[in-house]
Structure 1
Amino acid sequence: MASDPKTVAFIVDQAGGAAADVIARPMFGEYGLYRGRKLVALVCDDQLFVKPTAAGRALAPDAEEAPPYPGAKPSLLIDADRWDDAEWLGDLLQQTAAELPLPKPRSKKARGAESG
């Protein structure tokens, strides 16, 4: 079951606030949430899965770890009740992004295959 775009928009609005620094991109029928160039979370089946980091675990110590889809690495499953706290949610994604590395640049060969 794919996530409802309204759910994704609500999470993005809450997490990004006025700064609009959190964006959603469709990914395989679900959504990836990005802060800058970093993928920080996934929205799958209307559930929010945040990449696990030390800061994220400290901010959400009661969060269950679960895979967002079969075969995926476990992520922090953020309870929908926490989504209403925009300041907390924005802080969680900001601190998660701060701990994650920048994505590796794609090779020229890979980029050429995409445009062709």
Structure 2
Amino acid sequence: MATDQDFIDYVAEQVALGERLTHKKMFGEYALYVDGKVVAFACDNSLFVKPSDAAASLAPGLPQRPPYPGARDYPVADELLDDSDTIRRLVLATAELMPVPRPRKAAAPRRRGR
């Protein structure tokens, strides 16, 4: 089951970071970013926060399961979505621990066939 846009809108509303929180749709699911850093995935209308010391210290009791087949277990933060302050703290703390994304290489110009 793919994640609904309504779920993404709800997560964004609860996290309340404005334009700092962005998302990108990928294969019917979403990656969520804070300041360009991946902090979570939304899969099957559940919020999977990137495993980190932030999740271990701020929300140690969260259930864990893989967001998609073949993935390792991620903390599932669904139960925190009704607590805007807690989910915002977790997302921001996770973002602080994530590496800065590498700059993308410019695409090579396409050659025209003759």
The TM tier, using the shorter chain, reads 0.7 to 0.9
Could you list the per-position Cα deviations for residues 40-69 of structure 1 after superposition, in whole angstroms to 9, with x for gaps in the alignment?
000000011000110121111101221100
RMSD after superposition: 1.8
Gaps of 5+ in 2: none
Once superposed, which parts of structure 1, at least 4 consecutive aligned residues long, lie more than 6 Å away? none
Letter in 2 for 1:88: T
Q: Which has the higher helix share?
A: 1
Structure number, greater radius of gyration:
2
Which residues in structure 2 correspond to 1:47-62 (within 5 Å)?
47-62=46-61
Which residues in structure 2 correspond to 1:17-96 (within 5 Å)?
17=16, 19-78=18-77, 80-96=78-94
Could you list the per-position Cα deviations for residues 15-48 of structure 1 after superposition, in whole angstroms to 9, with x for gaps in the alignment?
1x25432112111111111001101000000011
- C-alpha separation in 1, matches of 2:67 and 2:108: 31
Gaps of 5+ in 1: none
For residue 107 of structure 1, the aligned residue among 102, 105, 108 is 105
Count, aligned residues? 110
- C-alpha separation in 2, matches of 1:112 and 1:72: 32
